[in-house]
Amino acid sequence: MEKSSRSIVSVVGLVLAILILVGLPIYLYNMVAKPIKESGITSKVKGVIEKAKQDAAKENRLQSIGITADALILQVSDAGFATKRFTQLILVLKVTPKGKQAFKVTTKKMISHSHLSLFQPGASLQVKYDPADLSDVSLLSSPRPAPLMQKTSSQRLEQLEKLRKKGLITDKEYKKKRDEILHDL
């Protein structure tokens, strides 16, 4: 009897071990993996990856078939998506192709954090665009800062006169600078 009870205990122990080895992964799948899969997280990640692949293919196509043009940044805003090294910006550009009429385009681009400060309204850069789809642009260069606004000659003369009246410059300095401004006309 003792031998048969040991056999039964051994068989029961073996069955329990098999149930644990088989059942535990099934239980974990049903409790953890299945809810994640059903929530759509994996499909969302796949969607993001697929969109990135499509964007890269579009950029490569534009680099090979696109027409080069100058562009002026009109507006910049944050698209609300960032990674450790990049931020997505929404750019409104005025694209001016050589010999053709300028057009506006709004595009989203991932920009390196080290270049974010260059993307300011008034900055210029080169782009490539698809003549069949003007909304499709690729950035070719980093933006060049907008030139500082030059004061007109009359504004400079007025400022010079104020400095003289306040006694901040001598009559001799005033005359010399006034002659320089008038000479530049």
As a whole number of Å, the end-to-end CA separation of the chain is 120
Of residues 107 and 8, more confidence is placed in 107
Please say if the pLDDT value at position 152 is more than 60.
yes
Please say if the pLDDT value at position 155 is more than 90.
no
Q: Of the given ranges (20-24, 153-157, 159-163), which has the lowest mean pLDDT?
A: 20-24
Assess contact for 158 and 178: CB atoms under 8 A.
no
Q: Of the given ranges (2-6, 60-64, 92-96), which has the lowest mean pLDDT?
A: 2-6
Please say if the pLDDT value at position 1 is more than 60.
no
Q: What pLDDT shows up at residue 97?
A: 93
Q: What is the pLDDT of residues 77-116, one digit of tens each?
A: 998 888 888 889 999 999 999 989 999 999 999 898 888 8
Which residues are CB-contacts of 75 (< 8 A; sequence separation ≥ 6)? 90, 91, 92, 121
User: Position 154: which residue type?
Assistant: S
Q: Read off the pLDDT of each residue in 22-43 and give the average, rounded to a whole number.
A: 63
Angle at 42 between CA 39 and CA 48, to 5 degrees: 120
Domain boundaries of the chain, sorted by first residue: 65-139, 153-184
Q: Of the given ranges (4-13, 68-77, 117-126), which has the lowest mean pLDDT?
A: 4-13
Question: What is the value of pTM for the model shown?
Answer: 0.56
